[in-house]
Chains A and B, each alone.
Chain A
Amino acid sequence: MIKLKNLERSYPLAKEKFFFVLRDINLEVEEGDFVSIMGPSGAGKSTLLHVLGMHDHGWRGEYFLGGTGVHHLKPKERATLRNEQIGFVFQQYHLLDDLTVYENLDIPLSYRHYKKSERAAMVADMLDRFQMVGKKDLYPSQLSGGQQQLVGVARAIIAEPKLLLADEPTGNLHSSQGEEIMELFRKLNDEGMTIVQVTHSEKNASYGKRVIQLRDGWIVKGE
């Protein structure tokens, strides 16, 4: 599903010097895998996830997603590939504050040019699946953190991606809400979705099948 070869991410410093956030990353993730990326703060975990999510384009090396060489693609082609293949869950949920739950779920579909009737059916299905039908007209500020993250996950998977990326998905939740989200992830993985999550929590990592440790930009375990 994912193959990284000699991937590097750096930021320029003064006089042709660079600060490396990711160094010589070589990584393979099989389809249906559930990988947890761990490591201390500043290790490069989130950066790696954003590179995988194609939010970050300033890296060097090779990145294959489902056999497509992302490194060969133009930004517009990358955006298309991302919309087809990837869903992203954020630690801070990043729901759009001015949109209702329904509208937050609808928006990824509208950006993917689904017809209105199709969108309505897909959103209704997702609300039903996540048991949030009664909350569809509420705004994010009217939901608990756990509920917001549930919407965040629903939004990430509504366009049926093959790969779900999650950046500290339970970081802002208390433990019972966190468990609920992780159970959901496990279920999604059982249904065949590939998941890569960044986490500090050993417990959350235990929901996955594989752990990768990062330190100072290097993969130190699980390559």
Chain B
Amino acid sequence: MTDLQYALRQLAKSPGFTAVAVLTLALGIGANSAVFGLINGLLVKPLPYQDSSRLVLLWEQFPSQGLERIPVSVPEYLDYEKQAHSFERIAAFVSASFNLKTADLPERVQGAVVSPSVFPLLGIEPIKGRTFAQEEFGEGRDDVVVISERLWKRRFNSDPALIGNKLYLNGRSYTVIGIMPARFEFPLPLFNIQGMQFTERADIWKPIAFTKGELESRGSRSYGVIARLRADASVSSAQAEVSTITADWKRQHPKNYGDFSSFGAKIYPLQQQVAGGMRDGLFILLGAVALVLLVACANLATMLLARASARERELAIRVAVGASPSRLLRQMLTESVTLALIGGTVGVLLAVWGLDVLKHLGARTIPRLNEVTLDWTVLFVTASVAIGSGILFGLIPALSSARPELTEVLKEGGRGSTSGARSNRVRNGLVIAEIALALVLLIGAGLLMTSFMRLQAVNPGFDSHNVLTMELALPQLKYPPPANDDYVGGIATINFFAEARRRIANLPGVGHAAFVSALPLSGSNNDYSFVIEGRNSSQEKVSPDEEIRVITPDYFRVLQTPLLKGRFFSDSDTVDSSKVIIINRAFARKYWPNEDALGKRISFSDQNPQWTTVVGIVGDIKHRALDLDAKPEFYVPHTQLPSRFMVLAVRSSQDPRTLTHAIRRELLSIDPDQPVANVRTLEQVISDSIGPRRMSVLLLGVFAGVALLLASVGIYGVMSYLVVQRTHEIGVRMALGAQARDVLALVIGHALKLVGIGTGIGLLLALISTRALSVLLYGIDAFDLATFVLVTVVLATIALLASYLPALRASRADPMIALGNNG
């Protein structure tokens, strides 16, 4: 009979023990498997492009203005294309949305406008048709699109005849020339890119057609740049090359770069940009699950120690009939590793389920989360972790059993208990370790939860309750720009939003309705540079550049952001009236720290200044993130800068989601081709903005809970074993007059000692390790005394409660039975 067969028979013989052990291991190994799956999927696994390690992004920066990772302008892109030889291929891209009109309701579909070279650069072939030819690049030749397999299935029922047929996008007809596979995703959602994070997946790609305006404007930056490094180039050599190119620009175009000595471009590996922001959180989670696994192993080791002493006779017989210590060790380890592999298998199932839950919770806010699967790499690591755990928790009991005391055990009537002082010391040590490790995890989770609660309690500068939001993007063809400016809409745009605002505001249940170009905490952003009246711009080294929002009059009433001074915009601020802006408190403090900002004037152009007057000052709004201070912002009335892309915000006295249908109807009655997208409450917008953080808190909380449960089970098991072991002693004590409370005190006193030492060590470890959490904490110190004390008290109480049951059982023992039991 093989050791494996015997191990399986042993496990089947004790279903209770096996079930508890498998569950314990499944929790420990499953947690590791899930977190490793996350790390593998988000950080390790190559991006879904050919040879993705050679893909880089190029962003520009104005460090002196606090601007990093900003897009590039068209003339700059064309210079990079021509002059940068470190790149095998280079492509420009920008996110775009398309209003898709079919027989059904109009729909806004997310997409991208890309250089034709982007597909060969990424190395992904279409599943049908072709991608763009070089000649399909430029105005008038760009009436072709490639769509995703997802859109092809969803809207066109996988119709093979779609290739070569027309689609109506933004009021214009385009020929579908290719279908990209479902796994193809570009641009990927990126972390830390101003105005570009958390974009939806693109389903339509259109070739770039640079406009005349774009080709002439070196300062208007809106394109991302992706490139493939040549085989003989590295990130640093490419960096050196683009730095040379940008340095040349400063000489060749002093008008554009003269003021910006710190201007430059930086190369970032694509992989790092996609999920780099998750790195710290994921590695903290990996540490947490390693602790959970250690607690589980300590638990298993105590269980196996108890089991080993029950199997002492069997092991002694095996030695007597010829088993060597190494052979016994092998058998014991076979049993523990078998147990661990079964636990690992159940753990993988738990991890699959856990990852499904995580994807459900975090798919909107965590890049590449949908790609996370338990692939062969993860399964191999899980199997290694399981085998390693089996050896880890099996080794101590196996070593303690490999040399049984033969004479005592095998003699006539010999009970042969080797569970003497040494065994008890090991068992106590394991419980102390469990308590210490669980405390480290619980303190970490406590700090993160407190931090998260404080973050949620942060005043963002507006009231998010009962506000519904949705996005609208008016197509340029139908809502044309004025003759001299491609970037904004014309009178048709102004009229559409004014009419929409009027109709929606009159709907029953609507308090106020307004539009804004970039909703706070939504991830989108815009900034603009300007000059201040009376300050000689040529004397200033750097033109100020701050964040801009285009709004309609009731915006601050919808958000309930307080007016500190002056007035809100009104319908009398028109395209023809004098130009006005509202600024926030941070803006006023930065530029007019010791004077009244109201009435001050700025201009967006220093060549022919058109002065714009500050007519109001409002409270600060946290736009980028709840944990970042509000930045200076200024607000422009939509009538004076008519953006075609706006977000509707509606304050309601009831559940705002009930207004969705009525609002859609009103918008369609103005323009039956105009879709809305991304319908969310403002609370959901805030919630999405802290999604990754919420996931870390949730996971760490769950892992800490598991550790607490395992530690409690561990201390319960050890105390129960101790009571059984001391039954005779307890019987003698009771026969000699000990009361129930004395027995209770005896057992709980022992538990108290273990808990005391465990929490002491745990506190020390926590003091050392919580520093690593600092990057994830907001509004709380990594050594927050209240959290340390509270968590310690909770853990100690639960651990003592776990020892109370065995203690109670011991105190109720009948001395005669107790004595007889050992008699």
Q: Could you tell me which A residues sit within 8 Å of B by CB distance? A: 46-47, 50, 53, 55-56, 76, 79, 82-83, 88, 90-92, 94-99, 103, 106-108, 110-112, 155-156, 159, 167-168, 171
Contacts and interface: CB of A to CB of B under 8 A. Distances in A.
A98 B321 contact: no
B324 interface: yes
B406 interface: yes
B406 A55 contact: yes
B318 A76 contact: no
B410 A155 contact: no
Interface stretch (B5-13, B72-80, B364-372): B5-13
Interface in B242-268: none
Interface string B299-325: 000000000000001101111111110
B590 interface: no
Nearest to B1: A103
A56 to B, nearest CB: 5
Interface string B6-22: 10011001000000000
B407 interface: yes
B327 interface: yes
Given A55-B410, A98-B13, A107 B320 contact: no
B595 interface: no
Interface string B402-418: 00001100111000000
Interface string B311-346: 001101111111110010000000000000000000
A46 to B, nearest CB: 5
A83 B412 contact: no
Given A96-B317, A99-B1, A107-B1, A83 B410 contact: no
Contacts of A167: 410-412
A96 B321 CA distance: 11
Instruction: Point out which of B316, B317, B318 has the most chain A C-beta atoms below 10 A from its C-beta.
Output: B317
Given A50-B406, A98-B6, A98-B13, A108 B321 contact: yes
A47 B414 CA distance: 12
B7 to A, nearest CB: 11
21 contacts: A46-B411, A46-B412, A50-B407, A50-B411, A79-B324, A82-B322, A91-B412, A92-B412, A94-B317, A94-B320, A95-B317, A96-B317, A98-B6, A98-B13, A107-B321, A111-B322, A111-B323, A111-B327, A155-B321, A168-B412, A171-B412
Contact of A94 (B1, B9, B313, B322): B313
Given A55-B320, A90-B320, A98-B6, 7 more contacts: A76-B324, A83-B322, A90-B410, A98-B9, A110-B1, A111-B327, A167-B411
Interface string B385-427: 0000000000000000000001100111000000000000000
A17 B317 CA distance: 32
Contacts of B313: 94
A53 B320 CA distance: 9
A138 to B, nearest CB: 15
Nearest to A41: B412
Contacts, number: 68
Interface residues of B, number: 22
Identify which of B9, B13, B407 gathers the most chain A CB atoms within 10 Å of its CB.
B407
A106 B2 CA distance: 11
Contacts of B314: 96-98
Interface string B725-759: 00000000000000000000000000000000000
Nearest to B406: A55
Contact of B322 (A50, A76, A108): A108
B407 A47 contact: yes
Contacts of A79: 322, 324
B1 A111 contact: no
A72 B220 CA distance: 92
A29 to B, nearest CB: 20
A62 B508 CA distance: 107
Contact of B318 (A50, A88, A91, A107): A107
Interface string B198-218: 000000000000000000000
Contacts of B321: 88, 107-108, 111, 155-156
Interface string B601-618: 000000000000000000
B6 to A, nearest CB: 7
Nearest to A46: B411
Contacts of A47: 407
A159 B13 CA distance: 29
Contacts of B406: 50, 55-56
A50 B410 contact: yes
A64 to B, nearest CB: 21
Nearest to A47: B407
A110 B320 CA distance: 13
Closest 6 CB pairs of A and B: A111-B322, A55-B406, A108-B321, A50-B407, A56-B407, A83-B322
A76 B316 CA distance: 16
Nearest to B320: A88
A82 B410 CA distance: 16
Contacts of A82: 322
A45 to B, nearest CB: 10
Nearest to A50: B407
B1 A55 contact: no
